[in-house]
Amino acid sequence: MRSSTRGLVEPTCHERRVARRLAARGDDGLAEALLRLKGKHAGGRYRLEQLYAVGAEGAVFDVADELDPAGEPLVAKVALLPVHRPFELDPDDIRRRRYALRVESQYLLGNSSPFMPRGIGLFELANPLLDDARGDAFAEPEPILVMEKLPGRDLDRWLARMHRSGIETPTMRRTLDRVAVVLLQALTDLRRRGVYYADLRPGNMRMMGRPSRRVRMLDAGSLVSVHDRSGRFPHVPAYLPPEMFRAARASERIVPSDAAQAVMAGRTLYEVATGSVPRPGEPVDLSLLPGSNVSQPVAEVVAGLCSGECSDVRVALRHLYSSAKRRVPGGNDPRATEQEDEPLDAQDDVHADTDDGAESGAPAEDTRHAAPRGAATEGDPMQIVARQVSEHLAQQAARREQVTSHAALPATDDESVLPPGPARPSLLRRLFGKLVGR
C-alpha cells in the first residue's frame, strides 16, 4: 500500500468513512490520530489492523491473531481519548475511561450469555498516542479488550432499510417478530445472569447475516448488575422511561430496574415495529402499533411494555410463548450457525415453531427438509430421499395444475405452498433421476 506524507499507511475506504463520520460530529482529526495504533501488538499475538468503528467511549479495531491466522474474526476495543487534542488530555479522565473499559471487560469475560460477543481477554500495550514523558497516567499501559467480531449491520441501520424496502407484509412481520422475540430472550437471559442491559437501543444490537438473521447485543459496557445502586446507567435519552428521563434532567440519580428495562425494551421494539424513533421524555404513540409491521400478539406486547402495564420482560416473553407460539422462532442460539458477513437485503426465512429448547437458546430441529409426518425413518437412505423427492414433485405438479386452472392458493405464510420458480422442477427431476438410477 502507499504511504502518506506523514509516514502512515494509507487509510482504507472504510477508515475514510469512519473519519467523515467523526468529522461530522466535531472530531475532525481523531481518526487520523487513531490510525497510528495500526500495527501495534497486544498480548504477544494480537495485531491491530483496520479501524472498524468509533463510539462515544471506545474505538474498535479489526484484529489479526498471529498465532491463529485462520481463526475466527476478532476486534479490539480501546478507551477513546481526545488524542487529536493533546491539551484536553487529563490524567483523571484517562484513568476514568480506562477503568470503564476494565469494568466492561469484567462483565464480558464473566458473562457467558450466547447473546453477547464472546470475550477473549484484556491485554495491554504501550500507547504511542500519549507522551509518556508527562508521567502519571500518560506513562501507564493502555488496556485492550479483545472479543469476537459480529458480522452484519447495526439494527438501527438495518431497520431503516427494512422499513423502506417495500417487502410484503407477511415476510416483514415474520422478520420483525423474530427480532422482537430474540430481544426479549436476550434480556431474559441476561436478567437470569444478574445483569440489566442499560443502554438498550437498536444501535446497540447487531442483525447478523443469512441464513438465520440472528440478533446479538453489542456493547458489554451497557451491562449493569441488578445489585448496582451507584447510579451507573449508560443510556440514550430517547429510550428511557419518560419519568426517568425527567429525573435524569433534574440531576437526580437513576438506577436500572425490571420496570425500567421493560419500558426501554418496549420503546426499542416500538422503533422496530413502526420505524419511528421515540422522542425523549414523551410517551410513544400506541395508536401506530395495530397497523405496524409486526403481528398483533407482538404489537400487544410492545404496547404493554411501553405503557408500563407489563413491568417485566420475562412476563412479556412468557406471554408471547403462550399466545403466539408460531411467531417464536425455535433455535435462537446466536452461535449455532455460521453467518454471512452482511445482510444484503431485508428478506428472512422463519418457518420453525418453537420447542422446549427455544427459551434456553438450544437449536431447534430443522424440519423444512425433513421427511413427512409418518414417513419411515429407517432403511436405505437413498430410497428414503428418492421417495421424498417423488412426493415433492407430485405435490408441485398438483399445485401447477391449480395455478393454470386459476384456482386460488391457500392463504398462508408458508413459502412451500407458493408456485415454484421455472428452474426448480427441472433441478429436482434431475436429482430424482440420479437417485433412482435413470
The per-residue pLDDT for range 280-318, each reduced to its tens digit, is: 999 999 999 998 999 999 999 999 999 999 999 999 999
Q: How confident is the model at residue 391 (pLDDT cuts 50, 70, 90)?
A: low
Angle at 179 between CA 173 and CA 180, to 5 degrees: 85
- Could you give the CA distance from residue 418 to residue 399 in angstroms, rounded to a whole number? 8
Q: Contact at 8 Å (CB) between 178 and 329?
A: yes
- Could you give the CA distance from residue 93 to residue 79 in angstroms, rounded to a whole number? 11
The pLDDT of residue 279 is: 95
pTM here is 0.71
Mean pLDDT across the stretch 363-380?
38
Q: How confident is the model at residue 346 (pLDDT cuts 50, 70, 90)?
A: very low
Q: Which three cell numbers stand for residue 242?
A: 419518560
> What are the phi and psi torsion angles at 354 (to 5°)?
-80, 165
Mean pLDDT across the stretch 241-245?
95
Question: Where along the chain do the CATH 3.30.200.20 domains lie?
Answer: 13-148
Q: How confident is the model at residue 148 (pLDDT cuts 50, 70, 90)?
A: very high
Question: Where along the chain do the CATH 1.10.510.10 domains lie?
Answer: 153-327
The pLDDT of residue 174 is: 86
Q: Which of 265-274, 355-364, 414-423 is most confident?
A: 265-274
The pLDDT of residue 408 is: 38
pLDDT tens for 180-209 read: 999 999 999 999 999 999 999 999 999 886
CATH homologous superfamily, domain 13-148:
Phosphorylase Kinase; domain 1 (3.30.200.20)
- Could you give the CA distance from residue 19 to residue 34 in angstroms, rounded to a whole number? 10
Mean pLDDT across the stretch 132-158?
91
The pLDDT of residue 342 is: 37
- Could you give the CA distance from residue 81 to residue 58 in angstroms, rounded to a whole number? 8
Q: Which of 158, 165, 190, 213 is nearest to 352 (CA)?
A: 213
Mean pLDDT across the stretch 430-436?
46
- Could you give the CA distance from residue 382 to residue 379 in angstroms, rounded to a whole number? 9
Share of the chain above pLDDT 70, in %: 70
Helices within 250-375 (DSSP H only): 258-274, 296-307, 313-323
Query: Of the given ranges (6-15, 84-93, 242-251, 276-285), which has the lowest mean pLDDT?
Result: 6-15
pLDDT at 409 over 90: no
The pLDDT of residue 393 is: 59
Query: Of the given ranges (32-41, 156-165, 423-432), which has the lowest mean pLDDT?
Result: 423-432
> What are the phi and psi torsion angles at 171 (to 5°)?
-70, -40
Q: Contact at 8 Å (CB) between 120 and 74?
A: yes
Q: Are strands 153-154 and 205-207 parallel, antiparallel or unpaired?
A: antiparallel
Considering only residues 340 and 239, tell me which one the structure prediction assigns the higher pLDDT. 239
Query: Of the given ranges (43-52, 53-62, 300-309, 353-362), which has the lowest mean pLDDT?
Result: 353-362
Architecture of domain 153-327: Orthogonal Bundle (1.10)
Considering only residues 75 and 391, tell me which one the structure prediction assigns the higher pLDDT. 75
